[in-house]
Amino acid sequence: MLCRLTSIMPSILERKLSFERMVEFKRNLLALRHQAAQAFHARLPEISVDSFEEVIKYALPLIIGLWPLSNPIDVAAQVIALPELEGLRYDFQHDVERALLTLLRGARC
């Protein structure tokens, strides 16, 4: 459910907010990102808080994009089930794990 809500947040949920509520919402998102980065840094101190913030920054659009691609609507699911379109199939858990590991490896550089 969290991934579904995250994936529709920019295109649907945020359209219903006033400017003031949007500013408040975005400030809260930044604060949560920083708190999460600090928590990750506490467990992996070799990666800086700033690097973790960057990983989280890129993880959000990754989730937003991968979730609907991994959960296509009926017609799209039937189409990508065709053997010749196998390369267009996504497995959310597998793909998000690989992508996040790639981001973390880059953060260590």
**pLDDT of amino acid 30:** 95
**pLDDT of amino acid 108:** 80
- pLDDT interval class at 62 (50, 70, 90): very high
- pLDDT interval class at 58 (50, 70, 90): very high
Q: Where are the alpha helices (DSSP H) in the chain?
A: 2-8, 19-43, 49-70, 74-80, 92-107
| Average pLDDT in the chain | 90
- pLDDT digits 0-9 by tens, 44-57: 999 999 999 999 99
**pLDDT of amino acid 2:** 67
Domains, the chain, in order of start with CATH, read 2-107 (1.10.357.10)
**pLDDT of amino acid 1:** 67
Q: Is 54 helix (H, G, I), strand (E, B) or coil?
A: helix
Retrieve residue 53's tokens: 């913030």
User: Quick check: 71 and 93 in contact, CB under 8 A?
Assistant: no
